[in-house]
């Protein structure tokens, strides 16, 4: 009984610590969003690995909390999703990224495309598509230069409503990419139903592309799936020359990863572009 009691108090203590830390994280995230404090975007280059040309950038959210610690989006985005903060946060991400895109295009990166991650939860808002269109107009960028990255989890949302919003944005010119392709829980038939223009091949597959024959054929299957649906492909998390060559051999040209460039601030991105100019 004694040990049972000890285990129980340990259990309740760690539980309450957990709840407490989530409540305080929520509190500071709320403040960060309200006062635009500690939030920023990092930009990772997207290149055509065959020509070496810059194609675009993916905007990745960064948050430095009140203690100056950087918190992983993998921790705070799920919290923002559960509490509804993601709507406001997500619109801030879109506006900030499109504003940056407008500047880059004006500075001579005229073909540049911006990829922005959107959470499935953001599609629940009735006016999501209208808000995105408003921000594209506000920032004065062409809709065709905007790609929204969605994940397979969108299949869990109200199907008709999601389809309507995606269709409205695609009519406007916005492209859609299915992110983390192949890692989710959705069946192939669900993916076949998702309207998209691109598949982003997850890092898990890129890691495998140079491994055993079985692993390689798995990666090849993902590429074939994309080609079969006439979708564009982007491989993410490319870290080595071997991975790059193997992906090129499979017919995937667009890549992202540490081999080409890490996510960086807008200023670092400008320097990265200058260094690469002949």
Binding region for Ca ion (CB under 5 A) = 117, 149, 179-180, 236
CB of 180 to Ca ion, least distance (A): 4
Q: Scanning residues 172 to 191, which ones bind ligand C2E (CB under 6 A)? A: 179-180
Q: Does 239 bind ligand C2E (CB under 6 A)?
A: yes
CB of 255 to Ca ion, least distance (A): 12
Q: Is 56 in the site for ligand C2E (CB under 6 A)?
A: no
DSSP string, 79-125: HHHHHTHHHHHHHHHHHHHHHHHHHHHHTT-TT-EEEEE--GGGGGS
Measuring CA to CA, which residue among 110, 106, 173 is closest to residue 137? 173
User: What is the C-alpha radius of gyration for the chain, rounded to an integer number of angstroms?
Assistant: 20
203 vs 208, beta carbon nearer ligand C2E? 203
Q: Is residue 46 involved in binding ligand C2E (CB under 6 A)?
A: no
152 binds ligand C2E (CB under 6 A): no
Minimum distance from residue 58 beta carbon to ligand C2E (Å): 7
φ and ψ of 193, to 5 deg:
-85, -20
Contact 61, 29 (CB under 8 A): no
Cα–Cα distance for residue pair 61/72, rounded to 1 Å: 9
- Residue 65 CB-half CA count within 13 A: 16
Cβ at position 79, least distance to Ca ion in Å: 17
State the residues that interact with ligand C2E by CB under 6 A: 44, 60-61, 72-74, 77, 93, 117-119, 179-180, 203, 236-239, 256-258, 263
């Amino acid at each position: 009984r004694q040990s049972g009691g000890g285990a129980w108090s340990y259990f309740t203590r760690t539980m309450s610590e957990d709840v407490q830390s989530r409540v305080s994280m929520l509190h500071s995230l709320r403040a960060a969003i309200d006062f635009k404090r500690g939030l920023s975007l990092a930009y990772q280059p997207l290149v055509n690995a065959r020509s070496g040309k810059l194609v675009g950038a993916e905007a990745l959210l960064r948050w430095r909390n009140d203690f100056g610690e950087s918190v992983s989006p993998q921790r705070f985005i799920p919290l923002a999703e559960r509490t509804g903060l993601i709507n406001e946060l997500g619109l801030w991400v879109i506006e900030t990224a499109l504003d940056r895109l407008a500047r880059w295009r004006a500075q001579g990166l005229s073909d540049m495309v911006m990829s922005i991650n959107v959470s499935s939860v953001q599609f629940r808002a009735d006016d999501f598509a209208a808000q995105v269109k408003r921000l594209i107009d506000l920032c004065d960028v062409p809709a065709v230069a905007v790609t929204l990255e969605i994940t397979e989890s969108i299949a869990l949302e109200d199907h008709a409503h999601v389809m309507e919003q995606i269709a409205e944005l695609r009519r406007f010119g916005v492209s859609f990419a299915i992110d983390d392709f192949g890692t989710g829980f959705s069946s192939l038939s669900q993916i076949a139903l998702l309207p998209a223009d691109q598949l982003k091949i997850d890092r898990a597959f890129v890691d495998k592309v140079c491994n055993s024959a079985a692993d390689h054929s798995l990666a090849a299957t993902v590429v074939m799936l994309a080609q079969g649906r006439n979708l564009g492909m982007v491989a993410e998390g490319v870290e080595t020359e071997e991975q790059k060559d193997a992906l090129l051999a499979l017919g995937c040209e667009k890549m992202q990863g540490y081999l080409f460039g890490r996510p960086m601030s807008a200023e670092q991105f400008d320097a990265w572009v200058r260094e690469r100019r002949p």
